[in-house]
Amino acid sequence: MAQLASIASLVGTGLAVYGQVRQGQQQKAQARAQQENLRQQQAAQQEQADLQAAANERERQQRLARTIAAARARLAAGGVAPDEGSAAALAAGLRQDAAQDAREDAAITGARLAAGRRSLLAPDGSLNSFLRAGQSLGGAVRSLLD
């Protein structure tokens, strides 16, 4: 009779271990699905950010071209050669300002995307279920030996 109790205890522990391992597998599959979903969301965010950055860049280039054309027209109307001296320096300064704005916009976009990302170190719990299963099995073996 004592042997039946120890066998029943061993079977019960085996079922508990199986349940915990199965639960760990389900958690791992769920974590994988969540990671894939997160990856797709990040890809969509990246694509949206790239499209927005391209639209901002086009707008910035058009604004720069209009500003330079207006400045050249004013300078030419005032009798200054628009491609020499202070007029050329003015155009170069406008181009530098536009380039600085583009760099700042890219940095802000990168920071916003980075802030929305999860840590790669987030635990998925798969190892914990195996450790608990090992502890349960160890307890069952100890009770059989006693």
Say if residue 21's pLDDT is above 80: yes
* pTM: predicted TM-score of the whole model, two decimal places: 0.49
Distances (CA, A) of 22 to 6, 25, 97, 132: 24, 5, 60, 12
Residue 80: which pLDDT band, with cuts at 50, 70 and 90? confident
Q: Mean pLDDT across the stretch 34-58?
A: 85
Say if residue 58's pLDDT is above 60: yes
CA 115 to chain CA centroid, Å, is: 8
Say if residue 119's pLDDT is above 60: no
Q: Which helix (H) or strand (E) holds 103?
A: helix 85-115
Q: Mean pLDDT across the stretch 90-102?
A: 86
| Spans of all domains in the chain | 2-145
Say if residue 145's pLDDT is above 80: no
Say if residue 144's pLDDT is above 80: no
Return phi, psi of residue 41, to 5°.
-65, -40
Say if residue 48's pLDDT is above 70: yes
